Chain A
């Protein structure tokens, strides 16, 4: 079982719709959760992090965390073509000295 799992996609949504990206993790000791966006040929850039159960909103982005279900998601409202990228879920267990464990990423395509 992979430590962090994501559906590789592509996930295709029309412009203006809500994109829902999901991630599950296996280590119950995971305490911080991150969503990175990576455009093709570019480096990952942080979108949001979350560490408490519930929702966290930042502009068009909402991260949702459910530690009991070991599940974290990212919602993108009013999706734009510029949101088309690969979204990487990453987790940290604070007992492992800043080690970010990444999922394989979900490729999102926002269509016109």
Chain B
């Protein structure tokens, strides 16, 4: 009964390739997120979608393009991969669009991307 799932778990690829990471949540949440955790373990938000609408778009290269076909799915496509894209990418979901005082974000297991 995985709440937030991501595929693949591991992704090893060459520089310049294009790859996608998929995320699905079965919690019935309205909002989904993509975070990047670098080698120093710093976790930073990249994007957020609410009911398929983009609501947060941090300063992320436009090689990264999120796509939300429905509110249960948020995929991340990365073009022209670079060495610096190597990181762990976490998907997360929460119930509310605007943070309630007790909002909880539930994280997926992460996708470990290594660009060679």
Contacts and interface: CB of A to CB of B under 8 A. Distances in A.
Interface of A: 31-32, 34, 38, 42-46, 49, 51, 86, 88, 92-94, 96-102, 104-105
Contacts of A88: 43
A32 B102 contact: yes
Interface of B: 31, 33, 40-45, 48, 50, 55-56, 90, 94, 96-110
B99 A92 contact: yes
A32 B97 contact: no
Contacts of B110: 42-43
A46 B43 CA distance: 14
A49 to B, nearest CB: 6
Which of B99, B100, B103 has the most C-beta atoms of chain A within 10 angstroms of its own C-beta?
B99
Contact of B96 (A43, A98, A99): A98
B107 A98 contact: no
Contacts of A99: 45, 48, 56, 99
Contacts of A49: 101-104
A88 B100 CA distance: 20
A32 B96 CA distance: 14
A43 B103 contact: no
Contacts of A42: 109-110
A51 B100 CA distance: 10
